[in-house]
Structure 1
Amino acid sequence: MGLTLYDKIYQQHLVDPDNKAAPLQYIDAHLIFEVPTAQAFDSLRKNSRPVRRTDLTLATVDHNVPTNNRSKYKNAASFIKEPAARTQVTLLEKNITQYNIKYFGMSDLRQGIVHVVGPEQGLTLPGSVIFCGDSHTPTHGAVGALALSGGTSDIEHVLATQTVLQKKYKNFRVCVEGELGAGVYSKDIILHLLGKIGTAGATGCIIEFCGSTIRNLSMEARMVLCNMSIEGGARSGLVAPDDVTFEYLKGRPLVPSGSDWGKAVAYWETLHSDDDAHWDFNIEIDAAEIVPSITWGTSPDDVIPITGRIPDPVNYEETNPFKAAAIRRALKYMDLKPNMLAVDIKIDRVFIGSCTNSRIEDLRAAARVAKGRKVAKSVYAMVVPGSGLVKQQAEKEGLDVIFTEAGFDWREAGCSMCLAMNPDVLSAGERCASTTNRNFEGRQGVGGRTHLVSPVMAAAAAVTGHMADVREFLKAENGSINVTQWTLGGEQGRSYGPVKEDTSVSASDFVDDAIANRPTEEAKTSADGIPKFDVVSSVAAPFDMQNINTDLIIPGEYLKTVIRTGLGTNLFRDIRYDDIKTHKENPEFILNQPPYRKSQILVCTGENFGCGSSREHAVWSLVDFGFKCVIAPSFASIFFNNSGKNGLLAIPVNDAEALKKIHAEGIANREVQVDLPNQVIKDSEGRLITKFNVDAYTKHCLINGLDDITNTLASEEKIYAFETGQKTAFPWLFNRIRKLQSPRRLGLDLAGATDILDW
């Protein structure tokens, strides 16, 4: 039987194919940023461990950085006013200096959102495995790379070992055939898919996007699909490389050059799924079915066509009461009415940006709608380029003039209003048409209401003041997604400005000064482990919600912490407190009721617990509150992975009757017992409720309090042998980041900045 593209990349990167219990994937490139890294570097120092491959690691800042004008920028310490954000950014600068890691800081025009910077620089290559501590890392799969994300523990693991523990996932094929209509963009494709499969439809899978529609998309349009594959529960997304990929990559700073280019392309051309490959799941979509779409609720799968109506919970009462309850909750939060027309939704804000839709093609598409029109007086609209180079290119094409004349606010590069971690936030009650990827409660600001749309739909909403069908604003010749590859003047423009790196020689022509920093024998053993787990008896706190997302577990503003503790007070903050400033408690919330204030077990009857972000902070907040175990029908993959690394046992129980019994025990204030050694759950009388499965490796680590890095470094010789072979087979993957030149040498520095790094 043949192999899928995912199968091929996964197998090629197994450090030890015989290790079935704890399979290690070698990481060819590691992107880091300010939010989840401080704790990882602190732990490296505590255990006297080096960063193993500084030549495979690249840093930037994005989540916390302000996007206001930088013409008077001096340094990050003086420019960033919010103390916690400033601390995270300056700590990253300290850490990358100590460990000799290349860095695109705020004084460098190459700075930007990690998932814009990586492909833009050519760090992301077909057939490689890339890691980043952000859940939207699957973006990089658009070039045919296996792009993986995880929390802080995984970041530390990659820094210390250049590997990540990664089991084999299932294969999910999404085939889209046909031609997209005018005004239909790749954002509409992924929203359409989410509407079909839901936020957990691809849990435990890697999605490969196939079909003629996908082949006709540009690279940047493909990135949108892979970026939001995580919203369907997928571990990552992929598109097989082809001539479109090679044309996009050629000449970028970190892409193979000289004699290595031909060798690389020859290998990349083998990276496709075989005709007889096995697919665990398969969905076929007719492109003609897809129309401009929006989300109406608080989950990315709350999708309706712009010509549609908001659903009525009454229609789901008998068939799906969980969905009916979710619709009611979303309608209340979003302040919408059942059966309301999509085009009748009025908006206050428009945000064009984020790692989903902030590239040059996104800005060109939005500018086609904005040109010659004005933003409605009732709307504040902002455009945030994904990197300094995207901004530079947009200004070269005059897109900034189009936006500003229309009344849009033209900003600097950063994550901006994608999440409430920087000054760009929604106020309570404000409604936003947003090109980002998540519409969770409070995602863009406490009480803010988010509708996900494509860039052209966002621009249409901006000029009308309400959701609008963009097809009324576009002519056939400029409404096609294919025209985004061309400037408004008719030329084909690349997605970055003039970056004159020396790409005339191959990486293999250099003397390799980038060698592995191998740990000492003493550093192979951690100073600390994880909390041991044996048997826990507790009244279980009963929850009835589905799709409990990480933003709900711990809001984005608390990601600014540089320690792992102290988050328990703000666990479920937005539903736990009536007043979030004074922490006045909501008496109806379960954790505010006496029996459950000291619960060590949480039982949730709704599926997909922990969906959303890769933030390990969600697990830290649960542990800090006192929880040792979470029981639910299913878990999002990254949350599930993060749990075991912090001593939190996540137990999937798909037996509905058993789950009801555990939940009923919690309602009755009776203890249940979770026995990990024997893998059973018992009631307060010692009667068996259910047995449960747990991965043997996770069980071993939890019972013995062992951390992953200590276990991995026991096989350090195998890692060294693997990377030696990897360097021989794929020399273009090594030493390339070391060749990056300083912003001053390239003319990409901000005038007046005092924190420019002269590499």
Structure 2
Amino acid sequence: MALTLYDKIYREHLVDPDNTTAPLLYVDAHLIFEVPTAQAFDGLRKNSRPVRRTDLTLATVDHNVPTDDRSKYQDAASFVTEPQARTQITLLEKNLKEHNIKYFGMSDRRQGIVHVVGPEQGLTLPGSMIFCGDSHTPTHGAVGALAVSGGTSDIEHVLATQTVLQKKYKNFRVCVEGELGLGVYSKDIILHLLGKIGTAGATGCVIEFCGSTIRNLSMEARMVLCNMSIEGGARTGLVAPDDVTFEYLKDRPLVPSGADWDHALAYWKTLYSDGDAHWDFTVTIDAADITPSITWGTSPDDAIPVTGRVPDPADYDNTEPFKAAAIRRSLKYMDLEANMLATDIKIDRVFIGSCTNSRIEDLRAAARVAKGRKVSDSVYAMVVPGSGLVRQQAENEGLDVIFKAANFDWREAGCSMCLAMNPDVLSPGERCASTTNRNFEGRQGPGGRTHLLSPAMAAAAAIEGHMTDVRDFLTTENGSIRITKLTLGGDTVKSYGSVRVTASAPESAPKPKDEIVANRAARHAVKSADGIPKFDTVSSVPAPFDMQNINTDLVIPGAFLKTIKRTGLGPNLFRDLRYDSETHEELPQFVLNQQPYRNSKILVCTGENFGCGSSREHAVWALVDFGFRCVIAPSFASIFFNNSGKNGLLAIPLDDTQALEKIHEEGLAKREVQVDLPNQEIRDAGGNLIAKFQVDAYTKHCLINGVDDISNTLLSEEKIYDFEVKQKEKFPWLFGRIGKLQPPKRLGLALPGAKDNFDW
């Protein structure tokens, strides 16, 4: 049977192929960080469960960390001044020590953005299954790994069981053919794609990027595409491994060597989509049609060529009223005029960084534009490397000197201004040319305005003080995407340079080949202490919403994610819609500030793609904390939909337009409706049927009985153990790798004044 690459990896990781109700995939590597993990470890502790495979888990810190000078760094407790961020980071460190999990902290030059660290260290391997509680985990798919994300409940699930519940998704092929033009980078490819398919165009799918253009891209350029596949609604993104992949991986710390390399390579070469494999959807793009691009609005699909104009909502009033309304809202928020030239958009800040564009090739592309030039006096520009090793490599190549001479601020590694969770934030009204992945309202700071673009385009905008066609700064010698693989001097250098052990590593006794290091939960810990809130029938006046693409940043802004609890987020639900940004008083016209809607248990939204954006579970927690038990919408983003059921929130996708409008009308009329889960029906106050709805059997079972995923999965512990015994025999190079990592002091990668180095 002909299979796609996704099909092959999915099948290889099914713990029990016969379980089609709640399919479990075995996780080969689990990456964790500070923001969503405190509640997961707390759940383990409450239920007396161990971390099942500490040897397959690696941690770092990135979202909350300050990116200013670390020359006087001693420990996280004294360096991180913001109290909630400090609590999250120090609690992570405490949990990691308790469970003996390897950790790249701020005193370790290997620390960085989790999706930079994974490929950089070689943790990310072709054909493997990667999990991380961050929506941009698809980045790792660039090497041919199946990389998926989820919320805190999924993180706890992986920690406890080394598996993740994962249904089979559809196959979506994106084929890009031809040569990219001058000044066109992978960021422009993905923005072009998003402009074609929208933010929900690949919902329920896994994208595989293919075609001659993709084959000619470097690994780092491929990572940009996979990273932002989530912005098109895809569950993840993939690129088939090839010689570019193998060259990138060879000799990295966690990549197999010797005979294991040979065996792994032989397997990796079988990882491709068969010629006659079935594709549910295909999009073909001519590379010649892609130009340097920016986003103008508040959604990643609001992409236009830098030579283009901002759209006019009047053009869509008759054909796409939802889109027309969204354009008007975005124009107002972004303070732009319809039909204005993209190059007339002035900026206040430039941010080069994030898990999308903070690698060495991104910095080289920006440095080629910045060299010999100066940042405009009206602009503050910053460059934030994706990891300490990227920063070190950039300094070895002299890129820091170029940036500093051009008046860019040269920073330490972290997520930085990608999201408003650390000191690097926009002030209200500030406009930023940003190489990050999302331009939602308030994403980089309350009231901040974000335009997405490539690192080279960002550097050009910094110099001119407004959006600028980067091709005016480039020649064929320095403006090709292929040239980013070379240093500015034209040399070929292995990304991030070499890391050498400065002292002999202690020899450890070899473990028996068939030994599995699994901390298996005791019998009494199989059933969770709390479970999830049960759901039977719910009656309420539905709170009516009339928006599409309601993203997780809008549901709960990033500034409120620095919490170690699952509760207390309700008061800040829809913060930017509910409160005046200056007075912080409630806006009486907003629906949830009115009676009876402030007591609603049901939210009905007539716009598609509810919950797009982050994998953070905080959006669901905020809805539940406010009092909602059910959300009804035409469609949901995949991760939000999955997170909902795990917290007792019933998400009902309802594509019956008449029924949806009827529920919405009942809400406007302040009349109750009843959601009946056992019978899968929605009725009005008179008992009349409005709609039947679909819900998968597993989610229905869990909600009605109040049973959580981990309790269910631990009933299959023997099957998990049997699977990993076979997995280790078949793919031995996936096991025992993380344990070989050396302490930063041994590698000469520890900050001189650091006191918090872990004793590995």
TM-score normalised by the shorter chain: which range applies?
Answer: over 0.9
- Residues 358 and 386, structure 2, Cα contact 8 Å, conserved in 1: yes
Question: What is the Cα deviation at residue 498 of structure 1?
Answer: 2.6
Q: Compared with structure 1, are the counterparts of its residues 473 and 508 closer, same or farther at alpha carbon in structure 2 (3 Å cutoff)?
A: farther
Q: Compared with structure 1, are the counterparts of its residues 258 and 511 closer, same or farther at alpha carbon in structure 2 (3 Å cutoff)?
A: farther
Determine the structure 1 residue equivalent to 2:116: 116
Q: Does 1:2 align with 2:33?
A: no
- Residues 370 and 459, structure 1, Cα contact 8 Å, conserved in 2: yes
Question: What is the Cα deviation at residue 209 of structure 1?
Answer: 0.1
Q: Does 1:644 align with 2:645?
A: yes
Q: Compared with structure 1, are the counterparts of its residues 583 and 291 closer, same or farther at alpha carbon in structure 2 (3 Å cutoff)?
A: same
Amino acid corresponding to residue 357 of structure 2 in structure 1: N
- Residues 259 and 506, structure 1, Cα contact 8 Å, conserved in 2: no
Question: What is the Cα deviation at residue 500 of structure 1?
Answer: 2.3
Q: Distance in 2 between matches of 1:521 and 1:734?
A: 26
Q: Distance in 1 between matches of 2:234 and 2:507?
A: 36
SS in 1 for 2:622: helix
User: Which runs of structure 2 are paired with 1:266-305 in the superposition (5 Å)?
Assistant: 266-305=266-305
Determine the structure 1 residue equivalent to 2:672: 671
Determine the structure 2 residue equivalent to 1:200: 200
Q: Distance in 2 between matches of 1:35 and 1:231?
A: 21
Q: Distance in 2 between matches of 1:438 and 1:268?
A: 32
User: Which runs of structure 2 are paired with 1:21-420 in the superposition (5 Å)?
Assistant: 21-420=21-420
Question: What is the Cα deviation at residue 757 of structure 1?
Answer: 1.5
Question: What is the Cα deviation at residue 524 of structure 1?
Answer: 1.0
Determine the structure 2 residue equivalent to 1:708: 709
Q: Distance in 2 between matches of 1:347 and 1:514?
A: 55
- Residues 514 and 734, structure 1, Cα contact 8 Å, conserved in 2: no
Determine the structure 1 residue equivalent to 2:557: 555
Q: Distance in 2 between matches of 1:621 and 1:504?
A: 48
Question: What is the Cα deviation at residue 496 of structure 1?
Answer: 1.3
Q: Compared with structure 1, are the counterparts of its residues 514 and 385 closer, same or farther at alpha carbon in structure 2 (3 Å cutoff)?
A: farther
Amino acid corresponding to residue 494 of structure 2 in structure 1: R
Summarize deviations over 1:594-630 as a string: whole Å, max 9, x none: 1101000000000000000001000000000000000
- Residues 645 and 699, structure 2, Cα contact 8 Å, conserved in 1: yes
Amino acid corresponding to residue 17 of structure 2 in structure 1: P
Summarize deviations over 1:698-745 as a string: whole Å, max 9, x none: 000000000000000001000000000000000000011000000000
Determine the structure 2 residue equivalent to 1:484: 484
Q: Distance in 1 between matches of 2:217 and 2:328?
A: 37
User: Which runs of structure 2 are paired with 1:423-462 in the superposition (5 Å)?
Assistant: 423-462=423-462
Q: Distance in 2 between matches of 1:537 and 1:422?
A: 41
Determine the structure 2 residue equivalent to 1:747: 748
Question: What is the Cα deviation at residue 579 of structure 1?
Answer: 3.9
Question: What is the Cα deviation at residue 509 of structure 1?
Answer: 7.0
User: Which runs of structure 2 are paired with 1:696-735 in the superposition (5 Å)?
Assistant: 696-735=697-736
SS in 2 for 1:304: strand
SS in 2 for 1:499: coil
SS in 1 for 2:477: helix
- Residues 501 and 746, structure 2, Cα contact 8 Å, conserved in 1: no
Q: Distance in 2 between matches of 1:495 and 1:313?
A: 45
Amino acid corresponding to residue 530 of structure 1 in structure 2: I
Amino acid corresponding to residue 555 of structure 2 in structure 1: I
Q: Compared with structure 1, are the counterparts of its residues 244 and 507 closer, same or farther at alpha carbon in structure 2 (3 Å cutoff)?
A: farther
SS in 2 for 1:326: helix
- Residues 506 and 732, structure 1, Cα contact 8 Å, conserved in 2: no
Determine the structure 2 residue equivalent to 1:757: 758
SS in 2 for 1:477: coil
- TM-score, normalised via structure 2 length: 0.99
Determine the structure 2 residue equivalent to 1:533: 535
Q: Distance in 2 between matches of 1:669 and 1:269?
A: 61
Q: Distance in 2 between matches of 1:750 and 1:359?
A: 21
- Residues 744 and 758, structure 1, Cα contact 8 Å, conserved in 2: no
Q: Distance in 2 between matches of 1:182 and 1:507?
A: 53
SS in 2 for 1:547: coil
- Residues 501 and 748, structure 2, Cα contact 8 Å, conserved in 1: no
Q: Distance in 2 between matches of 1:504 and 1:731?
A: 22
Determine the structure 2 residue equivalent to 1:682: 683
Q: Find the partner of 1:545 among 538, 544, 547.
A: 547
Question: What is the Cα deviation at residue 525 of structure 1?
Answer: 1.2
Summarize deviations over 1:95-148 as a string: whole Å, max 9, x none: 000000000000000000000000000000000000000000000000000000
Determine the structure 2 residue equivalent to 1:598: 599
Determine the structure 1 residue equivalent to 2:629: 628
- Of the structure 1 ranges 348-357 and 519-528, higher mean CA displacement relative to structure 2 is found in 519-528
Amino acid corresponding to residue 649 of structure 1 in structure 2: L
Amino acid corresponding to residue 463 of structure 1 in structure 2: I
Q: Compared with structure 1, are the counterparts of its residues 153 and 501 closer, same or farther at alpha carbon in structure 2 (3 Å cutoff)?
A: farther
Question: What is the Cα deviation at residue 523 of structure 1?
Answer: 1.0
Q: Distance in 1 between matches of 2:508 and 2:733?
A: 5
Q: Distance in 2 between matches of 1:681 and 1:433?
A: 46
SS in 2 for 1:476: coil
Amino acid corresponding to residue 693 of structure 1 in structure 2: Q
Question: What is the Cα deviation at residue 494 of structure 1?
Answer: 2.0
Summarize deviations over 1:628-670 as a string: whole Å, max 9, x none: 0000000000000000000000000001000000000000000
User: Which runs of structure 2 are paired with 1:491-510 in the superposition (5 Å)?
Assistant: 491-500=491-500
- Residues 532 and 708, structure 2, Cα contact 8 Å, conserved in 1: yes
SS in 1 for 2:283: strand
- Residues 507 and 735, structure 1, Cα contact 8 Å, conserved in 2: no
Question: What is the Cα deviation at residue 497 of structure 1?
Answer: 3.2
Summarize deviations over 1:133-176 as a string: whole Å, max 9, x none: 00000000000000000000000000000000000000000000
- Of the structure 1 ranges 420-429 and 511-520, higher mean CA displacement relative to structure 2 is found in 511-520
Q: Distance in 2 between matches of 1:717 and 1:125?
A: 26
Q: Distance in 2 between matches of 1:508 and 1:606?
A: 60
Q: Distance in 2 between matches of 1:386 and 1:579?
A: 32
Summarize deviations over 1:294-341 as a string: whole Å, max 9, x none: 000000000100010000000000000000000000000000000000
Amino acid corresponding to residue 722 of structure 1 in structure 2: F
Q: Compared with structure 1, are the counterparts of its residues 650 and 695 closer, same or farther at alpha carbon in structure 2 (3 Å cutoff)?
A: same
Structure 1: 5+ residue stretches without partners: none
SS in 1 for 2:203: coil
Determine the structure 1 residue equivalent to 2:657: 656
Q: Does 1:587 align with 2:585?
A: no
- Of the structure 1 ranges 513-522 and 49-58, higher mean CA displacement relative to structure 2 is found in 513-522
Amino acid corresponding to residue 547 of structure 1 in structure 2: N
Amino acid corresponding to residue 496 of structure 1 in structure 2: Y
Q: Find the partner of 1:566 among 541, 545, 568.
A: 568
Q: Distance in 2 between matches of 1:99 and 1:268?
A: 32
SS in 2 for 1:298: coil
Q: Give the CA RMSD over aligned residues.
A: 1.5
Determine the structure 1 residue equivalent to 2:526: 524
Amino acid corresponding to residue 571 of structure 1 in structure 2: L
Q: Distance in 2 between matches of 1:688 and 1:378?
A: 60
Q: Distance in 2 between matches of 1:599 and 1:724?
A: 50
- Residues 26 and 162, structure 1, Cα contact 8 Å, conserved in 2: yes
Question: What is the Cα deviation at residue 10 of structure 1?
Answer: 0.2
Q: Distance in 1 between matches of 2:40 and 2:295?
A: 36
Question: What is the Cα deviation at residue 499 of structure 1?
Answer: 1.2
Structure 2: 5+ residue stretches without partners: none
Question: What is the Cα deviation at residue 758 of structure 1?
Answer: 2.8
